[in-house]
Amino acid sequence: MQIGELASRGGVTAKTIRYYESIGLLAAPERRANGYRAYGEPALERLRFIRDAQASGMSLAETGDILRMKDHGERTCEHSRAMLDRHLHEIDAQIASLLAAKAELTALSRRAESLDPTACTDPNRCQVLALDLPLDSKV
């Protein structure tokens, strides 16, 4: 198949395929006499794996590691599981950070509801965002 068909069947663009070739995720295909790239089903399967790995949160570098291991006949399940576990831990840390930020913003918003806008006289600061005031302060 030509690059356009591979792109269509793989759910990516031809530009993406060329990029994957340039970084070694896809092997350079054979060229026909007319210079067109000629891809087979193995290229489509590899392309779908790359797309699925990205959808699961893996980077192209991580995906490349798995593909290189596969190319050398190595088993990758433990390696992939370890990567997924690392991603899960990173996501848990991000969630914790976002929840802390949400709690802070919620407290600031609640404080803002109780403040008198006419009491905000400092020309350099907003009383809503004055972090040196206690969140339960009613300046």
Alpha carbons 125 and 139: distance in angstroms, whole number: 13
pTM greater than 0.85: no
Mean pLDDT, the chain, rounded, equals: 90
User: What digits encode the pLDDT tens for the residues 76-108?
Assistant: 999 999 999 999 999 999 999 999 999 999 988
Query: What pLDDT does residue 25 have?
Result: 96
Take residue 13 and report the two structure tokens written for it.
Answer: 């663009």
Q: Are 29 and 38 in contact (CB under 8 A)?
A: yes
Q: Is 35 helix (H, G, I), strand (E, B) or coil?
A: coil
Alpha carbons 46 and 57: distance in angstroms, whole number: 17
> Does residue 134 surpass a pLDDT of 90?
no
CA dihedral 13, 8, 60, 41 (to 10 degrees): -140
Query: What pLDDT does residue 139 have?
Result: 46
Assigned fold of 3-114: Multidrug-efflux Transporter Regulator; Chain: A; Domain 2 (1.10.1660)
Q: Where are the domains of the chain?
A: 3-114
Q: Is 84 helix (H, G, I), strand (E, B) or coil?
A: helix
User: What digits encode the pLDDT tens for the residues 24-37?
Assistant: 999 989 888 888 88
Q: Position of tokens 């006949």?
A: 73
